């Protein structure tokens, strides 16, 4: 089979968490900076069909794509690094693959033949590469394989990428192996044996990588030339294809570090397309390293303060805004279950992020009330809009105002579930998910920040503002400032007598980019700075 698209497969070795996803995304950003059309996908060995029902404390943020898929936070990295929007098919878990395969089998699509790991599962995996490359019209399609080489549960993916090399031609595939090279302090040397072993495991699948990325301790990488020689000698890779990658201070330094570390030689042997224009990365890293004197303290009123990955896109959006505004960001985690007025008073601005479930809800409502009454900059995201609306209604005298999610009484359900949206929570997929358009009220803060009245944002929620209570919500200090095009759904609210109090039913954090922060986040940081 002939193909014009080139494919890059990124596997990991030795331990998980070495930054394989960031490395894959960085390679993508470099190729994009060469003017190529790049797409990415993740293959994840776990059996959950998607991330919708995964506990965010265990698994980190659930990243929502424009087409409404509930995915792994890795896709957020891909979007931030590539500045391209992913789709639900940019991730394939084993659960999603097997479900598709078993559904097809039950449909009688295999005509009585035995359905097997090879070739049926592996063919299906390969089909996802072809489909994505076609959908995105990619020059290069990058596939990250989750887990580490040697994991039993990821072997069908590794077998599939090996088979794919024969299918589309080995010259159209670049295999990249990212592994960890530990430093042994007693003997003061790097140890390559674990990396050698993981490369041997990869060879057992029939894959000799075209590039090996050795992740290592930042301070000592300078003493490491023998690492490349050793890996080259023992593992049948070219010495100039071993890229030494020290720890970076910020993930956004990785694309530039990768160029410095020698990623271009093996990449350009594979696809020759001129020099990459890395100027926007250089500018960003200069901003990140500028270390401004002026500090802005943002309080994140949250439930999972022990796993900050739960709010990854929110914290990345805040950072991006601070880099652009030129202030040092100090993010203060405020435990929603224990939050007090002193906590709110102590920060320059407050974010109430999205969330599910009653735990910590009163703290979030209190944060909205405090910001309304003390003119403190406030940004509410999804649940953060709902709690602001509850706070306003209670201020207007609707004493028991609440959301139906938290058993609001029928006469005080200021946030409620609309008929069409009712469904069983445990089954997943019963929410308003993905891109929805909104119309912003002329002259509103929302319109001013976006610089437009017609906008699109991503959603992930079940409940809506009950417009039966518009009068009370307004009396409590809020204006409704954005609606769905048919006017049925409230998409934005803002403070009527405040300088910066805004909340959206959407998740704008998903569309923020490191060098192009989302206007709501930039607005918050600017307002908090004035404070
Ligand atoms: N739990 C709320 C809802 O389902 C808010 C969801 C969210 O913040 N993403 O509507």
Model confidence pLDDT, tens digit, residues 23-71: 999 999 999 999 999 999 999 999 999 888 888 888 889 999 999 999 9
Q: Is residue 421 part of a domain?
A: yes
Longest dimension (CA), the chain: 76
Q: Which residue has the tokens 């204006």?
A: 479
Q: Is residue 300 located within the same domain as residue 435? A: yes
Share of the chain above pLDDT 90, in %: 83
Q: Is residue 256 located within the same domain as residue 352? A: no
pLDDT reported for residue 58: 80
- Cα distances from 190 to residues 71, 219, 230, in angstroms, run 36, 12, 11
Number of domains in the chain: 2
Q: Is residue 262 located within the same domain as residue 304? A: no
Task: Determine how β-strand 490-495 pairs with β-strand 432-440.
Answer: unpaired
Residue nearest to atom 8 of ligand 1 (CA): 354
Q: Which atom of ligand 1 is nearest to the CA of 405?
A: 1
**Of the listed 77, 507, 518, 522, which one is catalytic?**
507
Lowest pLDDT segment from 85-99, 133-147, 309-323, 412-426: 412-426
- Cα distances from 30 to residues 144, 177, 252, 464, in angstroms, run 16, 17, 12, 41
Task: Give the residue-averaged pLDDT of 240-266.
Answer: 93
**Which CATH number do you get for residue 90?**
3.40.50.300
Q: Is residue 157 located within the same domain as residue 206? A: yes
Q: Is residue 268 located within the same domain as residue 338? A: no
* Cβ contact 276:33 at 8 Å: yes
Torsion sign, CA atoms 264, 267, 272, 275? negative
pLDDT reported for residue 188: 83
CA distance 49 to 55: 14
Q: Is residue 463 part of a domain?
A: yes
Q: What is the pLDDT of residues 138-160, one digit of tens each?
A: 999 999 999 999 899 999 999 99
* Cβ contact 184:191 at 8 Å: yes
Residue nearest to atom 9 of ligand 1 (CA): 354
Q: What is the pLDDT of residues 194-249, one digit of tens each?
A: 999 999 999 999 999 999 999 987 666 566 668 888 889 888 889 899 999 988 88
Q: Is residue 1 part of a domain?
A: no
Q: Is residue 326 part of a domain?
A: yes
235 part of the active site: no
Q: What is the pLDDT of residues 376-415, one digit of tens each?
A: 999 999 999 999 999 999 999 999 999 999 989 999 999 9
pLDDT reported for residue 1: 43
Distance 90 CA to ligand 1 centre (A): 24
The residue out of 285, 320, 338 marking a domain boundary is 285
Residue nearest to atom 7 of ligand 1 (CA): 354
Q: Is residue 354 located within the same domain as residue 376? A: yes
Q: Is residue 186 part of a domain?
A: yes
Share of the chain above pLDDT 70, in %: 96
Whether 426 shows a pLDDT value over 50: the answer reads: no
Q: Is residue 269 located within the same domain as residue 297? A: no
The residue out of 234, 266, 285 marking a domain boundary is 285
| SS3 annotation, 176-213 | EEEEECCEECCCCEECCHHHHHHHHHHHHCCCCCCEEE
Q: Is residue 313 part of a domain?
A: yes
Supply the mean pLDDT for the chain.
Answer: 93
Confidence of residue 304 (pLDDT cuts 50, 70, 90): confident
Q: Which residue has the tokens 């409620």?
A: 416
404 part of the active site: no
Nearest alpha carbon to residue 510 among 89, 141, 61, 138: 61
Whole-angstrom distance between the N-terminal and C-terminal Cα of the chain? 62
The residue out of 259, 285, 311 marking a domain boundary is 285
Cβ of 416 less than 6 Å from ligand 1 = no
CA distance 75 to 67: 13
Q: Is residue 255 located within the same domain as residue 366? A: no
Pocket test for ligand 1, best of 63, 365, 382 (most atoms within 8 A of CB): 382
Cβ of 76 less than 6 Å from ligand 1 = no
* Cβ contact 68:435 at 8 Å: yes
Count CB-CB contacts under 10 A for residue 52. 18
**Alpha helix (H) ranges present in 139-179?**
155-168
For residue 187, what are its two tokens?
Answer: 């003997």
10 Å CB burial of residue 66 (0-12, 13-18, 19+) is middle
- Which structural domain, as residue segments, surrounds residue 111? 6-285
Q: Which atom of ligand 1 is nearest to the CA of 357?
A: 1
Distance 330 CA to ligand 1 centre (A): 26
Cβ of 382 less than 6 Å from ligand 1 = yes
Q: Is residue 234 located within the same domain as residue 321? A: no
Cβ of 80 less than 6 Å from ligand 1 = no
Q: Is residue 298 part of a domain?
A: yes
Cβ of 355 less than 6 Å from ligand 1 = yes
Q: Is residue 99 located within the same domain as residue 231? A: yes
Q: Is residue 459 located within the same domain as residue 480? A: yes
Confidence of residue 333 (pLDDT cuts 50, 70, 90): very high
Cβ of 354 less than 6 Å from ligand 1 = yes
Cβ of 383 less than 6 Å from ligand 1 = yes
Cis peptide before 119 (omega within 30 of 0): yes
Confidence of residue 186 (pLDDT cuts 50, 70, 90): confident
Q: Residue 340 has what DSSP assignment?
A: -
Cβ of 303 less than 6 Å from ligand 1 = no
pLDDT reported for residue 249: 87
Whether 324 shows a pLDDT value over 60: the answer reads: yes
Q: Is residue 248 located within the same domain as residue 370? A: no
- Give the torsion through C-alpha atoms of 193, 198, 200, 205, to 10 deg: 180
Q: Which atom of ligand 1 is nearest to the CA of 459?
A: 9
Distance 148 CA to ligand 1 centre (A): 34
Q: Which atom of ligand 1 is nearest to the CA of 354?
A: 8
pLDDT reported for residue 158: 97
Whether 122 shows a pLDDT value over 50: the answer reads: yes
Pocket test for ligand 1, best of 354, 432, 510 (most atoms within 8 A of CB): 354
374 part of the active site: no
**Which CATH number do you get for residue 339?**
3.40.50.880
Q: Is residue 163 part of a domain?
A: yes
Cβ of 462 less than 6 Å from ligand 1 = yes
Supply the DSSP string of 226-295, one letter for each residue: HHHHHHHHHHT--GGGEEEEE--SSGGGHHHHHHHTT-HHHHHHH--------HHHHHHHHHHHT--S-E
CA distance 174 to 194: 22
């Amino acid at each position: 089979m002939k193909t014009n698209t080139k494919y890059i497969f990124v596997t990991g070795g030795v331990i998980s968490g070495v930054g394989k996803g960031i490395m894959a995304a960085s390679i993508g950003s470099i190729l994009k900076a060469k003017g190529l059309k790049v797409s990415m996908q993740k293959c994840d060995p776990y059996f959950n069909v998607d991330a919708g029902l995964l506990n965010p404390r265990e698994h980190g943020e659930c990243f929502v794509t424009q087409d409404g898929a509930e995915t792994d936070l890795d896709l957020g990295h891909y979007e931030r690094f590539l500045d391209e929007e992913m789709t639900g098919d940019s991730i394939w878990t084993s659960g999603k693959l097997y479900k598709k395969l078993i559904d097809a089998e039950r449909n009688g699509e295999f005509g009585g033949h035995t359905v097997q790991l090879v070739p049926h599962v592996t063919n299906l995996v390969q089909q996802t590469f072809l489909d994505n490359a076609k959908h995105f019209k990619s020059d290069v399609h990058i596939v990250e394989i989750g887990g580490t080489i040697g994991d039993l549960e990821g072997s069908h993916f590794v077998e599939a990428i090996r088979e794919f090399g024969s299918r589309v031609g080995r010259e159209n595939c670049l295999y990249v192996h990212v592994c960890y090279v530990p430093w042994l302090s007693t003997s003061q040397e790097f140890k390559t044996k674990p990396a050698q072993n993981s490369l041997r495991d990869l060879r057992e699948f029939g894959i000799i990588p075209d590039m090996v990325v050795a992740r290592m301790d930042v301070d000592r990488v300078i003493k490491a030339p023998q690492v490349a020689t050793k890996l080259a000698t023992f593992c049948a890779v070219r010495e100039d294809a071993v890229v030494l990658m020290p720890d970076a201070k910020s993930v956004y330094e990785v694309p530039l570090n990768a160029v410095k570390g020698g990623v271009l030689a093996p990449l350009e042997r594979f696809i020759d397309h001129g020099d990459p224009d890395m100027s926007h990365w250089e500018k960003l890293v200069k901003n990140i390293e500028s270390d401004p004197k002026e500090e802005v303290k943002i309080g994140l009123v949250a439930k999972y303060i022990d796993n900050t990955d739960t709010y990854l896109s929110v914290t990345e959006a805040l950072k991006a805004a601070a880099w652009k505004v030129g202030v040092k960001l100090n993010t203060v985690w405020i435990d929603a279950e224990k939050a007090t007025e002193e906590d709110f008073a102590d920060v320059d601005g407050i974010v109430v992020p999205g969330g599910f479930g009653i735990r910590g809800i009163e703290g979030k409502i209190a944060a909205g009330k405090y910001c309304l009454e003390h003119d403190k900059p406030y940004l509410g995201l999804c649940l953060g809009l709902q709690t602001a609306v509850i706070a306003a209604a209670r201020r207007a005298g609707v004493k028991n105002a609440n959301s139906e999610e938290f058993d609001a009484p029928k006469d005080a359900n200021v946030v409620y579930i609309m008929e069409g949206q009712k469904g069983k929570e445990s089954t997943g997929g019963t929410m308003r998910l993905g891109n929805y358009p909104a119309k912003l009220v002329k002259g509103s803060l929302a319109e001013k920040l976006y610089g437009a009245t017609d906008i699109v944002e991503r959603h992930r929620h079940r409940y809506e503002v009950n417009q039966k209570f518009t009068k009370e919500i307004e009396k409590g200090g809020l204006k409704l400032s954005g609606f769905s095009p048919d006017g049925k759904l409230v998409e934005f609210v803002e403070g009527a007598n405040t300088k910066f109090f805004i909340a959206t039913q959407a998740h704008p954090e998903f569309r923020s980019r490191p060098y192009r922060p989302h206007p709501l986040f930039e607005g918050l940081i600017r307002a908090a700075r004035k404070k």
